[in-house]
A and B are shown apart, each in its own frame.
Chain A
Amino acid sequence: MIRFEGVHKWFKKLHVLNDIHLHVKQNETVVVCGPSGSGKSTLIRTINRLEPIDKGSLFVDGYDLTDRAFDINKLRAEIGFVFQQFNLYPHLTALKNITLAPIKVRGMARQDAEDLAMSLLERVGLAEKRNAYPSQLSGGQQQRVAIARGLAMKPKIMLFDEPTSALDPEMIGEVLAVMRHLAHTGMTLVVVTHEMGFAREVADRVVFMDHGAILEEATPDEFFLNPQHDRAKQFLKQILTPMHCEM
């Protein structure tokens, strides 16, 4: 579904992605973790070309992302992206946030789109907030609407870029619950997160990054019980210490 082959990226002189090789199969849930500045956000943003790559090749759903000729919007419609800061459209209600792309990009009938949006809002537990504007919702609620917005396009892949990092602790649970549910439905997920509990429970594989490179790629059990790399060990020690659990 997603295949990185020798991918490099630079921000000016900074080498943010260094020879990335990674293969995410259909229906797989992959969690990417690592200290801040390790390049994990950049990695996930290359998958829908929010960040173009400089070297190597990257295939997503059969498309070659280094090929400038293909219609990126078509691919993006197949990929849901959930941001750390939610990025809901502040001028639209929760319902309209969800129906906009299905109607305008997919050409779905308004009624169908609204029915779909309502079922998604029910799924994330926010049916009664359909007419609320983003500014009237809590962070956790906004993020759940954002997930519903991504799902409304019936995507093949969902990407999560630190979806809980901007949330108050008491709201993290509600968002993770929605994501957990998603993983169980068999959608292809790539999740950048520090929520190791979530990784352990739902990930098929865990990828550990530092300084732009993938240092370790393993099943959750292997990774958490027997990390190979020194820096992975150090990272786990820090993040699993209760003092740092909210990083």
Chain B
Amino acid sequence: MLKYEFDWSVVTSGQYYDWIVSGLHLTIQLSAVSIVLAFLLGLMIAVMRMSSVKPVKWFAHGYLEFFRNTPLLVQIFFWYFGSYKILPHAVNEWLNSVNFEFAAAVIALTIYTSAFIAEDIRSGVLSIPKEQMEASRSGGFSYLRSMQYIILPQAVRITIPPLIGQFLNLTKNSSLAMTIGVAELTYQARQVEAYTFKGFEAFTAATLVYVALSIIITAIVTLYSKKVLHRAG
């Protein structure tokens, strides 16, 4: 007869609590930086995808297909280990001297998620009546300026719900960064488990924190879109 003894104190105080908190800090940093970058990059790729310049359009198309159809884990390994082979020696030296683990994770999360965000934004743009583009072009705006001031602000507003989904995915996917040694939340939960063998407690704590993070992100984006984007009512 084997019985599992619960001991929640390991995750509510002391050293292991500190680990979980430090993991949370890193998860928040990783997610926040990647969300902002992925959104901006996604906007850019979406615009490129709709460009009338053929090479630009095909580049964006290839980008989307490639990064949406490759597992994120593979991409993380690619940027961390694979980039070593293609980068010049001096660049590698420099990368190894800084916190390249974090940077590689941000790059992978950003690029992977931006591909999904770009497609969401593109479908948002396609739902904006073409007359909006005609009106802004008639006003003397170039194609890119029209996108920037007229089309994208409207498209992003429509795209808010799928965007929230992508942001949440990104936050959860950030746990894969632990495979290259980034000590984020899941990594720390595993550490706590490895040291205390209190896996249920550690992962329950991590789960609750992820749920809380998701709720907070949803609230922030929803509030922002209500306050800033939906003033028109």
**A contacts, CB < 8 Å to B:** 48, 50, 73-74, 76-77, 79-81, 83, 85, 87-91, 100-101, 104-105, 133-136, 149-150, 153
Residue of A nearest to B128 (CB): A90
CA distance in complex: A89, B136 (Å): 9
Residues B138 and A104 in contact, CB atoms below 8 Å apart = no
Residues A48 and B138 in contact, CB atoms below 8 Å apart = yes
Instruction: Count residues on chain B whose CB falls below 8 Å from chain A CBs.
Output: 22
Residues A105 and B232 in contact, CB atoms below 8 Å apart = no
Residues A83 and B134 in contact, CB atoms below 8 Å apart = yes
CA distance in complex: A101, B157 (Å): 21
Tell me if B50 is interfacial: C-beta within 8 Å of chain A.
no
CB contact list, B135-151 vs A, under 8 A: 135-142, 145, 149-150
Q: Which residues of B contact A104 (CB under 8 A)?
A: 141, 145, 149
Out of B134, B135, B138, B229, which one reaches A89, CB within 8 Å?
Answer: B135
Residue of A nearest to B140 (CB): A77
Residues B141 and A101 in contact, CB atoms below 8 Å apart = yes
Q: Which residues of A contact B150 (CB under 8 A)?
A: 89
Residues A81 and B138 in contact, CB atoms below 8 Å apart = yes
Going nearest first, the 8 A-B pairs with the smallest beta carbon separation are A77-B140, A87-B135, A81-B138, A133-B232, A101-B139, A105-B140, A76-B140, A87-B131
Tell me if B89 is interfacial: C-beta within 8 Å of chain A.
no
CB distance from B38 to the nearest CB of A (A): 23
Q: Which residues of B contact A105 (CB under 8 A)?
A: 139-141, 145
Out of B134, B141, B153, which one reaches A87, CB within 8 Å?
Answer: B134
Out of A73, A79, A83, A100, which one reaches B131, CB within 8 Å?
Answer: A83
Tell me if B3 is interfacial: C-beta within 8 Å of chain A.
no
Residue of A nearest to B141 (CB): A105
Out of A88, A91, A150, which one reaches B157, CB within 8 Å?
Answer: A91
Tell me if B154 is interfacial: C-beta within 8 Å of chain A.
yes
Residues B140 and A73 in contact, CB atoms below 8 Å apart = yes
Given contacts A83-B135, A133-B231, 17 further A-B contacts (CB under 8 A): A73-B141, A76-B137, A76-B140, A87-B134, A87-B135, A89-B135, A89-B154, A91-B229, A100-B149, A101-B139, A104-B141, A105-B140, A105-B141, A105-B145, A135-B233, A136-B232, A153-B140
CA distance in complex: A83, B129 (Å): 13
Q: Which residues of B contact A80 (CB under 8 A)?
A: 138
A–B pairs, 13, beta carbons within 8 Å: A76-B139, A77-B139, A77-B140, A79-B138, A83-B134, A87-B131, A87-B135, A89-B135, A91-B229, A101-B139, A101-B140, A150-B139, A153-B140
Tell me if B83 is interfacial: C-beta within 8 Å of chain A.
no
CB contact list, B195-233 vs A, under 8 A: 229, 231-233
Residues A76 and B132 in contact, CB atoms below 8 Å apart = no
Q: Which residues of A contact B232 (CB under 8 A)?
A: 90-91, 133-136
CB distance from A93 to the nearest CB of B (A): 8
Residues B139 and A149 in contact, CB atoms below 8 Å apart = yes
CB distance from A133 to the nearest CB of B (A): 4
Q: Which residues of B contact A134 (CB under 8 A)?
A: 232
Q: Which residues of B contact A79 (CB under 8 A)?
A: 138
CA distance in complex: A89, B151 (Å): 9
CA distance in complex: A27, B131 (Å): 28
Q: Which residues of B contact A89 (CB under 8 A)?
A: 132, 135-136, 150, 154
Q: Which residues of B contact A50 (CB under 8 A)?
A: 134, 137-138
Q: Which residues of A contact B139 (CB under 8 A)?
A: 76-77, 81, 100-101, 105, 149-150, 153
- Name the residue in A79, A91, A133, A135 with the highest tally of chain B Cβ atoms < 10 Å from its Cβ: A91
Residue of A nearest to B231 (CB): A133
CA distance in complex: A89, B139 (Å): 12
CB distance from A65 to the nearest CB of B (A): 14
Q: Which residues of B contact A74 (CB under 8 A)?
A: 140
Q: Which residues of B contact A85 (CB under 8 A)?
A: 131
CB distance from B156 to the nearest CB of A (A): 10
Residues A91 and B153 in contact, CB atoms below 8 Å apart = yes
Residue of A nearest to B142 (CB): A73
CB distance from A211 to the nearest CB of B (A): 25
